[in-house]
Amino acid sequence: MPHRILETNEVAHYLHLKPADIDRLVKNQEIPVEKHGDRLVFRKVTIDAWASQRILGLHGPRLTEYHQKTSHAASQFLAQNALLPEMIRDDYIDPALAAKTRASALREMVALAEKTGRVYDRQELLQGLEAREELCSTGLPGGFALLHTRQPEAYLFESSFIVLGRTVQPIPFGAPDGQATSLFFLLACPDDRLHLHVLARLCMLAQKTPIIEQLLQAADAQSMYQSLVAAEAAVLEAGPQKAQEQPR
């Protein structure tokens, strides 16, 4: 799957966009594309990296609209709208990571992921995270990062999950606001249908609720877990219209 070549209709479906949206992105040179004769084709491995960075850069109504699209698509294969109760547990959270550098943060997050028992290849996961960070930092304004590999890897994980680490001291991680990072989510999604949706969901929580500050202030892993589940429930209850009305 990672080496697959997609055509316009296929990449539109994968990204939860319309073919006209893809045509516009191509025209504006905003999406990586290749020309094979008269055909426009898209390499999935490149699209995965481009799409994840695009989601991390969405704000306000654009993020809400995209999240609505991914939610609709995910409803076709998920039993419920809420993701976090199934993907993270309080023992998947470490509120006191000792990491002091970018490299040590990645290593400690991989170690935390391995403790779930769902990681097949620890070294391959670390290399995948490092490769993704080399493209562009997954650090975001507000002091958090959404770590993930360059593309969804079905052979890396037994099932989808999220782990969360909070460092004792903030770490320079390349966030666009220039601030250091204290919260590190690691997304493990072997199902590529779920990967982009989880990214959009976590971005929604960060922008539409006070979850980042709550996680920074929480006393322990159980409190962090409860705050996450409550924040997701609030976003889902608000719905797309109310979410658009919330300040960024």
pLDDT tens for each residue of 167-217: 999 999 999 999 999 999 999 998 887 999 999 999 999 999 999 999 999
d(CA 100, CA 168): 8
- The model's pTM is 0.90
Contact between 105 and 94 under an 8 Å Cβ cutoff? The reply is no
Tens of pLDDT, residue by residue, the chain (248 residues)? 446 899 999 999 989 889 999 999 999 999 999 998 889 999 988 998 899 999 999 999 999 999 999 999 888 888 899 999 999 999 999 999 999 999 999 999 999 999 999 999 999 999 999 999 999 999 999 999 999 998 777 789 999 999 999 999 999 999 999 999 999 999 999 888 799 999 999 999 999 999 999 999 999 999 999 999 999 999 999 876 544 444 43
CB burial of residue 189 (10 Å; 0-12, 13-18, 19+):
buried
Start-end of H helices in 36-143: 44-56, 60-74, 84-87, 102-114, 122-135
d(CA 50, CA 88): 26
